[in-house]
Amino acid sequence: MTVPLGAGDKLVTGKAFYDLAVQLGYDFFTGVPDSTLGALFAVLEAGERGYVSAVREDIAIGLAVGAYLGGRTPIVLMQNSGLGNCLNALTSLACLYKIPVLIVVGWRGADENDAPEHQLMGKATTDLLRAISLPFWIPTQHNLQELVVVASEQRIAERTPCALLIREQVFA
């Protein structure tokens, strides 16, 4: 039984997402802060256990791989622009060696109303994930809990990294 993330049209709080992740067995969080995931980063930076801030997304992937090899269950947090920074670490390390890390990506530029610097990567994000054969889901506040569970189960069953693309309207 999982803790419900929210009800109705309420946005998901960072604390509710963190609590669900811990309930699902995640015990190591790393990443590069991002405004789309700001509510979750606020919880982690407030002192929740298992958080290591990274200076770059490829470093976060390396930290997560090391944590996994040390017996931990990692989540990596980043903005979609950081996918470009970590492609080599992701494909040559995590994917190649079947490290089942969950990657939570703040998806800037997912729609036309974002800042110009996010629009090109926003359009390319899903194609990029498909190009490297990385399973991904695009949750809303209504199905985030379900898709976190689905992604978590698939990452274990297939021993592969999986990603959740989080639009700005999901976290409170």
Residue 172 falls inside a structural domain: no
pLDDT range class, residue 8, cuts 50, 70, 90: low
SS3 (DSSP) at 75:
strand
Distance, in Å, from the CA atom of 7 to the CA atom of 18, rounded to the nearest integer, reads 17
Residue 115 falls inside a structural domain: yes
Mean pLDDT over all residues of the chain?
92
Give the model's pLDDT for residue 105.
Answer: 97
Residue 5 falls inside a structural domain: no
Residue in this structure with the two tokens 């958080």, named with its chain if needed: 51
Nearest Cα residue to 90 out of 108, 70, 105: 105
Residue 8 falls inside a structural domain: no
Residue 44 falls inside a structural domain: yes
| Number of helical H runs and strand E runs in the chain | 6, 6
How many distinct structural domains can be found in the chain?
Answer: 1
Distance, in Å, from the CA atom of 69 to the CA atom of 90, rounded to the nearest integer, reads 15
Q: What percentage of the chain carries pLDDT values higher than 70?
A: 94
pTM of the entire predicted model = 0.93
Give the model's pLDDT for residue 2.
Answer: 46
pLDDT per residue as tens digits for the range 99-138 = 999 999 999 989 878 887 888 899 999 999 999 999 999 9
- Tell me the C-alpha to C-alpha distance, in Å, between residue 98 and each of 78, 101, 104, 155: 20, 9, 18, 9
Residue 3 falls inside a structural domain: no
Residue 87 falls inside a structural domain: yes
pLDDT range class, residue 88, cuts 50, 70, 90: very high
Residue 6 falls inside a structural domain: no
Under a CB-based contact definition with an 8 Å cutoff, are residues 31 and 43 in contact? Answer: no
Give the model's pLDDT for residue 9.
Answer: 57
Q: Is 67 exposed, middle or buried (0-12, 13-18, 19+ CB in 10 A)?
A: buried
Residue 7 or 121, more confident: 121
Strand (E) positions, the chain?
28-31, 51-53, 74-79, 102-106, 136-137, 162-166
93: domain CATH number is 3.40.50.970
Nearest Cα residue to 107 out of 133, 81, 87: 81
Strand (E) positions, 5-131?
28-31, 51-53, 74-79, 102-106
The domain of 109 spans: 14-166
